[in-house]
A = this chain, B = another copy of it.
Amino acid sequence: MLAHMNAEALEKSVASGEAHFWSRSRAEIWHKGATSGNVLTIREMRIDCDQDAVWLSVEVAGHGAACHTGRKSCFYRKIEVDEDDRIVLRATGDAPLFDPHDVYTK
């Protein structure tokens, strides 16, 4: 998954050892897994060369799924070009591990 952190989210992530992000749509700190139970416990945290991106290696609690669609990964579709030169999205086969309708009730 890819998500945004602000300074507070980064600080909370480092202090707690659990991934926190900044929800731009809700304009609030987002403790990943607070609703779904799929908390991300940080095993390793890296920062990039120009220090504007952070990479987390995590252990996923609960269903073992980081994506709100119920899948382990948000990147469950490949971008490919078909025989008619059209760009198509193809499933990788990464099946949902939970039903979002059961988990997110609002």
Residues on A facing B (Cβ under 8 Å) = 1-2, 14, 44-50, 53-55, 67-69, 71, 74-81, 87, 89, 92
CA distance A92 to B69 in the complex (A): 33
Nearest-neighbour CB distance to chain B for A14, whole angstroms, equals: 6
Please tell me which one of the listed residues B14, B76, B87, B92 contacts residue A14 in the complex, with CB atoms under 8 A apart.
Answer: B87
Chain B residue contacts of A1, Cβ below 8 A: 48
How far is A53 from B74 in the complex, measured between Cα atoms in Å?
9
Contact in complex: A79, B14 (CB < 8 Å): yes
Instruction: Give CA–CA (A76, B47) in the complex, Å.
Output: 7
Q: Which chain B residue lies CB-closest to A1?
A: B48
Is the pair A44, B14 in contact by a Cβ cutoff of 8 Å? no
A63 to chain B, nearest CB (A): 15
- A12–B53 Cα distance when bound, in Å, is 24
